[in-house]
């Protein structure tokens, strides 16, 4: 673990004290990636820049007022700065992704562990509809599960997954209200496996179809319309229930935009053959680069 420093220690340490002014003047002004290392040559951070000289010089202007403690601590530990020039900003972004996946520096978070990106599995069995959250795709569709993903943002995916489960639970229990939703579906973290039982196989089949269209990025309306505040005149929703409905609608919209819909766009652009065989999968080691290209 990185050693913790008092704030006044961090404030007193500047890159200007470690590197002469001429060092910053010799940095190329083109695009590229850069890295910070400590005195033991341990990699601390990897970044990318459209203009390496401008970006690295900006680290000389850090202060407690403008920068986080994390940045100050990183610069306090920095003893070596290196860079790799690239032909374009796009090439720099791709190079950064490659380095982050392979090196995983201590002060980087984004794009370092793509194996943590999530998938959603679904299947129908008789009157039941089952949903699962997983960190890998069900490649062979074992046990009749269909996989969708991967979805980058774990928090957004969990919130969307929970909101969809709540909507489908209400669909399976038409006489119930949001106040009767099981407590396991009202927590901050979702269950990683949940089975919904419908009154008939036909209802389960229709819900499975609507869910599949949503996760494939083709339609969100059938999931959203299960419950809407527009029905408030008829349902006379309380303020608490209306808040649940509004929040869930927002979670579903947000997840659809940055999850299924975006994945479908990426597949159309880079892997149309998967769409033809209804394999709605963007691999974990593909998505970060595809979002750049």
Q: Which domain holds residue 20?
A: 7-103
Tell me, yes or no, whether 56 and 194 share the same domain.
no
As a whole number, mean pLDDT of residues 82-106 equals: 97
Tell me, yes or no, whether 95 and 131 share the same domain.
no
118-170 pLDDT, tens digit per residue, is 999 999 999 999 999 999 998 777 788 999 999 999 999 999 999 999 999 99
Q: Which region among 4-13, 24-33, 189-198 has the lowest average model confidence (pLDDT)?
A: 4-13
Can you give the CATH number for the domain in which 39 is found? 3.40.1440.10
Task: Domain count for the chain, please give it.
Answer: 2
Question: Does the structure show a pLDDT above 70 at 86?
Answer: yes
Tell me, yes or no, whether 152 and 281 share the same domain.
yes
93-102 pLDDT, tens digit per residue, is 999 999 999 9
Question: Does the structure show a pLDDT above 50 at 12?
Answer: no
DSSP string, 98-119: HHHHHH--TT--TTS-GGG-EE
In a domain, 108, yes or no: no
Domain boundary among 60, 79, 103: 103
Tell me, yes or no, whether 55 and 141 share the same domain.
no
- Identify the band that residue 264 occupies on the pLDDT scale cut at 50, 70 and 90: very high
Confirm whether pTM is higher than 0.85.
yes
Give the C-alpha separation, 128 to 124, whole Å.
6
């Amino acid at each position: 673990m990185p050693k913790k420093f008092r704030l006044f220690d961090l404030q007193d340490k500047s890159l200007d004290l470690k590197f002469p002014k001429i060092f910053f003047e010799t940095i190329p002004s083109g695009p590229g990636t850069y890295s910070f290392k400590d005195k033991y040559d341990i990699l601390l951070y990897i970044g990318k820049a459209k203009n390496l000289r401008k970006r690295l010089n900006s680290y000389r202007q850090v202060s407690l007022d403008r920068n986080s403690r994390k940045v100050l601590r990183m610069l306090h530990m920095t003893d070596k700065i290196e860079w790799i020039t690239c032909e374009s900003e796009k090439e720099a972004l791709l190079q950064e992704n490659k380095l982050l996946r392979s090196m995983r520096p201590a002060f980087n978070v984004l794009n370092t562990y793509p194996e943590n990106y999530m998938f959603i599995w679904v299947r129908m069995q008789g009157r039941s509809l089952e949903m699962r959250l997983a960190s890998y795709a069900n490649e062979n569709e074992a046990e009749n599960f269909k996989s969708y993903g991967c979805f980058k943002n774990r928090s957004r995916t969990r919130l969307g997954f929970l909101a969809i489960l709540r909507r489908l639970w209400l669909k399976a229990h038409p006489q119930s209200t949001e106040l009767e939703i099981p407590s396991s579906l009202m927590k901050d973290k979702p269950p990683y496996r949940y089975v919904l039982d419908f009154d008939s196989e036909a209802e389960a089949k229709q819900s499975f179809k609507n869910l599949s269209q949503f996760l494939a990025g083709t339609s969100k309306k059938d999931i959203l319309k299960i419950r809407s505040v527009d029905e408030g005149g008829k349902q006379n929703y309380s303020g608490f229930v209306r808040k649940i409905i509004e929040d869930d609608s927002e979670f579903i919209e947000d997840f659809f935009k940055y999850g299924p819909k975006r994945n479908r766009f990426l597949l159309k652009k880079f892997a149309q053959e998967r769409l033809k065989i209804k394999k709605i999968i963007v691999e974990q080691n593909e998505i970060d680069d595809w979002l750049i290209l």
